[in-house]
Structure 1
Amino acid sequence: MSFACFLWVILQSLVVVVVVYATAENGCYKSIISFGDSLADTGNLKQLSSLHNLDFPFFRPPYGENFLDQSTGRCSDGRLIIDFLVAGATALNSSVLEAMGIVNLVTNSSLGVQLDWFKESLPYICGNVSDCRKFIGGSLILMGEIGGNDYNFPILAGSPMDEIKPLVPLVIDTIISAVNGLIEMGAQTLVVPGNFPVGCVPSYLTVCGSEKEEYDPTTGCLSRLNEFAEYHNELLQNKLYQIREVHPNVNIIYADYYNAALQIYRFPDKYGFTNGVLKACCGGGGTFNYNSSAECGMASASVCDQPDKYVNWDGLHFTEAAYRVIHNNLFQGPFTNPQFNSLCPASTAQLGVGLSSSL
């Protein structure tokens, strides 16, 4: 895999915590606290990179072309899942990954690092310990999606699956440790997503696909990669069940990103995706319009005329239209356990909509 391709993958590991003061979803929450990777980054990487004079393709058009003020920094043409609720961090620390031969050349914005940043910033957000506990208790906490990048690096580098699979319990334990830490700080409602069906992603289909691979006949996705995502999700759900047993008064919500997204690949016409399910809207050509030498945002790449007819934006991330469907399937549909729309903290004083803060 070329350095450009590898660099583009690790861009997903560059995002930090976002705190949004807003009337969230059903009006029950006074704020959203989001940990995650490029699937949740609303512009933090762009702000951080400006301090180090770094520039990446998704800082430039056509990224953000359908967003309110066409601002870039989001890894999509417009809004993300978190935007409908109101770049990629790993779950494991870089030192842990390096010990296993997996190198992240750009950042160590791991889940543990993000949690530390959040703790350090709390006094500036809510003041004293008592007020901060109330703040966290009245917030909706979104834990990712995170963990996917821990697998992205070795998968796209060609590592065999039997070398990657041992990562899964380590990633899950890291996520669970963060969840338990937030509960100790007063969290009452946490949404913990599983992984997406990564075997349907154009970059994976391009880099990992071959005549020897098995493809799902109903979707065209790579079977072994989707099975791997399902394995991660199964272990995660088992651990969340254990937390619910220990903390019966805390709302631990599993967000089934896998099946919420898989509905699109199975029934694209139902959702209006008539121009592409496995093909990126913005890219440099090829079967899936993903080319590591002509990535979206570069002069050599082109963008489709109707992004809302495509599922994938740039070979790695969804379009705004796809994020909207996934959001609806999750938070207005059946793909959260327990049902998200039936939950509400006992007391939450609502605040007006404000700006997200990069921590």
Structure 2
Amino acid sequence: MVIMDSLLCPPLCSFNRFSFSSAIHLLLLISTFMSSSPKTSVLCKCKNPPAIFNFGDSNSDTGGLVAGLGYSINLPNGRTFFRRSSGRLSDGRLIIDFLCQSVNTTFLTPYLDSMGSIFSNGVNFAIVGSSTLPKYVPFSLNIQVMQFLHFKGRSVQLVTAGSMHFLGDEGFRNGLYMIDIGQNDLSDSFAKNLSYVQVVKKIPSIILEIRYSIEEIYAQGGRRFWVHNTGPLGCLPQKLSLVQKVSDDLDPYGCLSSYNDAAGLFNEALLHLCEELRSEYKDATIVYVDIYTIKYDLIANSSNYGFSSPLMACCGFGGPPYNYDIRVTCGHPGYQVCNEGSKYISWDGIHYSEAANSIVASKILSTDYSTPRIAFDYFCN
């Protein structure tokens, strides 16, 4: 280890490839600059937090990969908050951890964690590497929903038998169902050398799987949904280090425009899905959260938030400009890591640092990026 000092549907296909990035750039130029030390927590008086059921990938995996497959996620992962490896791909807390803290509930336990687990506050089905397609492959979104169905049936049985570690019918009815998935579908498609057009053509199928999942949860009595869109894929150090770049594919901040435009199209389709479901399910609350704009603003205006080298990983190998080498990733022999307390947005080239996650969470809690503008603690019972 080396310590570094600083380290398909026609409407979709006909979308102007550069219009999404251009719109984002314009919004950033006309927005008011944030202070260098933004508020990172919100005072909450939530006395009866909802049970939270999370479906997703590594962005919200709180230890499922380690518990389910025994995969090692070594230090320095977890060094900032937990002071040990917690199974999270970050130096500390994830966005979902901050959201849980904002409503005074404990961190979510992975569904596959069998060691002393208590699921009275909900359960986390998210697993590193998960996507929506292909289906029936561990741990795709539909598999996570199938796990939920099993968990719900067994949990109600155990509560009826007197268990205090699980949830009864009321907990599921009043629960909050969070969905944060889709990044890997896009990322894997680009990794297979599919063209931009080919990747875009897959988006309707990805959205359809998310629809099926929400419909299944709704059929089980779920009425509260919190849906995150995907972040700026083209700004990840991993992508920037692996992709053969050409100057006309880089935006003003050094991110890959084609990757970000694909993410933008996915997000547009996801927003449309949430609007459709909201009109169909009049008794449901479906909140769409624009994670993309939050994260892109963090990168574009990194210095205003106190961050340096917004496209460089804190933990990785190779040094500037990205400090990412697929052969020597964070926590594996030979990795380099920035000093603890350094202000980096990217932790390992793919996932965000706790400092960045804290700011993203605070912006989510502001409701400025939510449609409709419903506060997270609205779901307190």
TM-score range, shorter chain: 0.7 to 0.9
2:224 counterpart of 1:189: yes
Structure 1 residues 208 and 28, CA, compared in 2 at 3 Å: closer, same or farther? farther
2:183 counterpart of 1:148: yes
In structure 2, the residue corresponding to 1:143 is in which secondary structure? strand
Q: Which moved more, 1:112-121 or 1:298-307?
A: 298-307
Cα distance between partner residues in 1 of 2:334 and 2:99: 34
Letter in 1 for 2:237: P
Equivalent residue for 1:353?
A: none
Equivalent residue for 1:80?
A: 94
2:235 counterpart of 1:215: no
Cα distance between partner residues in 2 of 1:150 and 1:72: 25
2:211 counterpart of 1:176: yes
Equivalent residue for 2:63?
A: 43
Which digits, 9 at most, give the CA deviation of each residue in 1:189-247, with x for residues without a partner?
11111110111100111112423442111x22111111110000001111111111111
- Contact 1:147/1:171, CA 8 A, preserved across alignment: yes
| Deviation of the 1:118 alpha carbon | 0.8
Structure 1 residues 335 and 27, CA, compared in 2 at 3 Å: closer, same or farther? farther
| Deviation of the 1:251 alpha carbon | 0.8
| Deviation of the 1:88 alpha carbon | 1.9
Letter in 2 for 1:138: N
Letter in 1 for 2:157: G
- Contact 2:177/2:224, CA 8 A, preserved across alignment: yes
Mapping of 1:1-359 within 5 angstroms? 26-27=46-47, 29-50=49-70, 55-56=71-72, 59-86=73-100, 87-94=128-135, 108-127=138-157, 132-144=168-180, 146-217=181-252, 219-273=253-307, 275-286=308-319, 287-306=321-340, 308-341=342-375, 344-345=378-379, 348=381
In structure 2, the residue corresponding to 1:204 is in which secondary structure? helix
Equivalent residue for 2:12?
A: none
- Contact 2:199/2:262, CA 8 A, preserved across alignment: no
Cα distance between partner residues in 1 of 2:198 and 2:205: 13
- Contact 1:29/1:140, CA 8 A, preserved across alignment: no
TM-score normalised to the size of structure 1?
0.79
Letter in 1 for 2:97: D
Cα distance between partner residues in 2 of 1:27 and 1:174: 35
Cα distance between partner residues in 1 of 2:47 and 2:134: 35
| Deviation of the 1:291 alpha carbon | 0.4
Cα distance between partner residues in 2 of 1:324 and 1:204: 23
In structure 2, the residue corresponding to 1:166 is in which secondary structure? helix
In structure 2, the residue corresponding to 1:33 is in which secondary structure? strand
Cα distance between partner residues in 2 of 1:289 and 1:26: 41
Cα distance between partner residues in 2 of 1:296 and 1:168: 31
Structure 1 residues 298 and 211, CA, compared in 2 at 3 Å: closer, same or farther? same
Q: Which moved more, 1:263-272 or 1:319-328?
A: 263-272
Which digits, 9 at most, give the CA deviation of each residue in 1:279-309, with x for residues without a partner?
0000111520010111111121111004550
Gapped runs of 5+ residues in structure 1? 1-23, 96-106, 349-359
TM-score normalised to the size of structure 2?
0.75
Equivalent residue for 1:20?
A: none
Which digits, 9 at most, give the CA deviation of each residue in 1:7-36, with x for residues without a partner?
xxxxxxxxxxxxxxxxx9845533111011
Which digits, 9 at most, give the CA deviation of each residue in 1:167-192, with x for residues without a partner?
10000010011111111211121111
Equivalent residue for 1:16?
A: none
Letter in 2 for 1:42: T
Cα distance between partner residues in 2 of 1:232 and 1:32: 25
- Contact 1:93/1:108, CA 8 A, preserved across alignment: no
Which digits, 9 at most, give the CA deviation of each residue in 1:312-332, with x for residues without a partner?
000110001111111111122
Letter in 2 for 1:199: G
Cα distance between partner residues in 1 of 2:332 and 2:313: 15
What is the percent sequence identity of the aligned residues?
29
Structure 1 residues 205 and 61, CA, compared in 2 at 3 Å: closer, same or farther? same
In structure 2, the residue corresponding to 1:309 is in which secondary structure? coil
Structure 1 residues 115 and 240, CA, compared in 2 at 3 Å: closer, same or farther? same
Cα distance between partner residues in 1 of 2:262 and 2:272: 16
